[in-house]
Amino acid sequence: MVKAILLQGRQQTLKQLSEHWLVSKTSILNDIAWINDIIAINSPGIESDGISLEFKGNEEQRQTAVTTFVVDNTDVKLLSSDNYLKQFFDPKVIRTLSDYFVKNQTEWFENVPAYYRFALQILTLVQTARAALGHHIQLRSSQNDYETSLSGDSAEVAANLFKVISKQLQITFTQGDLDWLARNLSAYRIGPIANGISVQWEATVQEMITRMESLQEVKIPGRKLLRHQLMFHLPAMVLRLQKGLIVRNPLLGDIKSQYPELFGMTWYAMSFLEDRYRIELNDDEVSFVTIYFHIAINQVITSRNVLIVFNQHGELRDYVKSQIRMLLPQNTKYTTASLGSFSQIDLTRIGLIVGVNLKSLITSVPFVGISPLFDANDQTKLMKAYADALVKPQSSQGTVHFPILRRSIDPALVFWKERMPNKQDALNFLIDRLEAAGKVNTEFRASIFRRERLGTTELDSGAALPHAVPNTVKSLGIAFLILKKPVHWNSIPVSIVVLACVPEAQVNIYRDLVMDIYRLVQNRQMVQMIVGLNNTDQFLDLINQ
């Protein structure tokens, strides 16, 4: 349906689709609703008049919708699967573009992560498929602050790519197509943004770092490197989100499960970007920034030596080592060895071993295996391994107390053993109570549901922690909903919903409050214990112990 209605622009009737797929019209409409949930964040959805189905957005919105759907439904560990792409695109077009990206990787895409390259390849596949059908992007008559000049690598790559495609596939592209592709190349760090750090982003980056320092109540030790990383990362991220382009972080689930507090604080620290640049953050983009903050915030242990062990592929040593050096902090020290000479290496001062083309290694030193191609999955694995092995938290969480939560909780906002049919009703119930208490403004509800649409807020423990941007909050409030029966919250049955509201003026307590809440509901045993209580007094006694 996506191929026919969105990519090819064919009008389809419910009757046709129902008969073709041998399902009911209701089933077709349910599928359309699921498709719209994916694509309608940055573009109109597919509409039905009860008879036919049609997409009424403009060409930019149509191409963005197809790109979003194709990338969103890709297994990030199988980015190069042609079988998946052949469901949407002509095999000859797939082969032509794949060859182009491989042939020009060294010149144009050498330092571009694999998940960026894949999303960019999908975008060009969509644009090529639409151009082959005679549909083109309209040239813009005006440009905003982030679409100033197309001089530089982005325009050159776009022109070269279209020249190759036109010659090999006999497809004509317009100046509007070139303009659109060049801007999207910039959003994926190819062109002016990738080649230099714009001074205009200095204030934004400093504000984000300052917000995180306020949340953490510390001066971030790795501030200089963090600033450099964010100056490079944020402009491209904002462009991607403004255009509705998406990338997937292969380790999003690991980041959210292992560093949930920091992930939530990163979202909070970044929230001001939504209004400033008219974007909507999503879990994948926030998780990339979480990794930067995780490495910068924590104290690094004395040993920062990394041993790189190569199993064959000697000709790739310099390439792999240069890629690793670009990814990890600047003052990391490196030693290299072949697998044959590994037994002779003194591991006393080695903090992490990176095995190239090695799945495992018998050693007491932390180990991570990567491929010689050093793709997106390898990069995220290495950053996580580095953080786990060479970074330690500033403080221990050996004892469990809830000092901020104990002072902030209002018994009138604890709702006990309520029955809710679904997630939406549970959220509306709590939002209604917070509005009645004067804790939030009229935009709070929309912010909550937008956040739910863009990413998951449930924990494996059976608790959900929805939240909104801080500028929709009037005063501090924490609402608890302990459910009579669990409700289905995306992929998890949820028994407890905690809705914490912290205004900008009280940002200094956000970190400790969030950590209190996570400690309270981070494991299933604790959630089951709370659900097993009988009333609010018993719940407050538990928190006050």
Residue 157 dihedral angles phi and psi, to the nearest 5°: -65, -45
Query: Which phi and psi angles does 486 have, rounded to 5°?
Result: -60, 150
In this structure, which topology does domain 403-544 adopt according to CATH?
Answer: Mannitol-specific EII; Chain A (3.40.930)
* CA atoms within a 13 Å half-sphere pointing along the CA-CB vector of 418: 22
CATH 3.40.50.720 fits 300-392, yes or no: no
Please return the burial class of 366, using the count of CB atoms within 10 Å of its CB with bins 0-12, 13-18 and 19+. middle
Q: Tell me the two tokens of residue 119.
A: 């999303």
Task: Using the predicted structure, report yes or no on whether residue 358 has a pLDDT greater than 80.
Answer: yes
Mean pLDDT of 204-223: 85
Residue 195 has pLDDT above 50, yes or no: no
Question: What is residue 501's predicted lDDT score, i.e. its pLDDT?
Answer: 92
Tens digits of per-residue pLDDT, 39-75?
Answer: 876 668 899 988 999 998 899 999 989 988 888 877 6
| Confidence (pLDDT) at 104 | 75
CB contact set of 379 (below 8 Å; sequence gap of 6+): 113, 114, 327
Per-residue model confidence (pLDDT) at position 331: 67
Asked if pLDDT for residue 81 goes beyond 70, the answer is: no
Helix (H, G, I), strand (E, B) or coil at 499: strand
Where is pLDDT greater, at 195 or 204? 204
Specify the pLDDT at position 387. 76
State the Cα–Cα distance between residues 230 and 228, nearest whole angstrom. 6
Q: Is the pLDDT of residue 397 over 50?
A: no
Query: Could you give the percent of the chain with pLDDT greater than 90?
Result: 35
pLDDT at 76 over 60: no
Element (H, E) at 123: helix 114-132
Query: Got the DSSP string for 284-302?
Result: HHHHHHHHHHHHHHSEEPS
Summarize pLDDT for 91-149 with one digit per residue, the tens.
999 999 988 887 876 666 655 667 677 888 899 999 999 999 999 998 876 554 444 44
434-446 mean pLDDT: 95
Distance CA 502, CA 508 (A): 10
For tokens 């459910």, the residue is: 483
Domain ranges in the chain are 1-57, 67-195, 199-297, 300-392, 403-544
Q: Give Cβ neighbours of residue 251 (< 8 Å, ≥ 6 apart).
A: 287, 380, 381, 384
Nearest CA-CA partner of 511 in 220, 288, 253, 202: 220
Dump pLDDT digits (tens) for 291-333.
Answer: 888 878 764 444 468 999 998 756 677 878 888 887 777 668 8
What is the structure's pLDDT at 297?
A: 76
The CA-CA-CA angle for residues 381, 383, 389, to 5°, reads 95
Instruction: With cut-offs at 50, 70 and 90, classify the pLDDT of residue 17.
Output: very high
Between 196-210, 302-316, 373-387, 457-471, the lowest mean confidence (pLDDT) is in 302-316
pLDDT digits (tens, 9 = 90+) for 255-281: 887 788 889 899 999 999 999 999 989
Report the pLDDT value the prediction gives residue 394, as an integer from 0 to 100: 39
**What does the alpha-carbon distance between residue 472 and residue 478 come to, in Å, rounded to a whole number?**
14
Q: What is the arithmetic mean of pLDDT over 516-521? A: 89
What are the C-alpha distances in Å from 231 to residues 5, 62, 105, 145, 225?
39, 31, 24, 17, 10
Rounded distance between C-alpha atoms, residue 431 and residue 440, angstroms? 8
The residue to which tokens 């995220």 are assigned: 380
Q: Is 372:309 a contact under the CB 8 Å cutoff?
A: no
Q: In the structure, what pLDDT confidence band is assigned to residue 463 with cuts at 50, 70 and 90?
A: very high
Burial of 84: CB neighbours in 10 Å, binned 0-12, 13-18, 19+: middle
- Check if the beta carbon of residue 415 is closer than 8 Å to that of residue 433: yes
Region 382-407: mean pLDDT is 68
Least confidently predicted of 35-39, 82-86, 392-396, 454-458: 392-396
> Which helix (H) or strand (E) segment is 350 a member of?
strand 350-356
Q: Which CATH class is domain 199-297?
A: mainly alpha
pTM score of the predicted model: 0.59
Lowest mean pLDDT among 164-168, 214-218, 363-367: 214-218
Please compute the mean of the pLDDT values over residues 460-469 and round it to a whole number. 91
Mean pLDDT, all residues of the chain: 84
Mean pLDDT computed over 166-188: 87
Cβ 55 vs Cβ 47: under 8 Å: yes
Q: Confidence class of residue 522 from pLDDT cuts 50, 70 and 90?
A: confident
Mean pLDDT of 29-42: 83
At residue 260, the pLDDT reads: 85
Residue 221 reports pLDDT greater than 80:
no
Q: Which of 112-121, 417-426, 471-480 is the least confident region?
A: 112-121
Reported confidence tier of residue 509, pLDDT bands at 50, 70, 90: confident
- Measured in whole angstroms, the distance separating CA 513 from the mean position of its chain's CA atoms is 24
In total, the chain counts a number of residues equal to 545
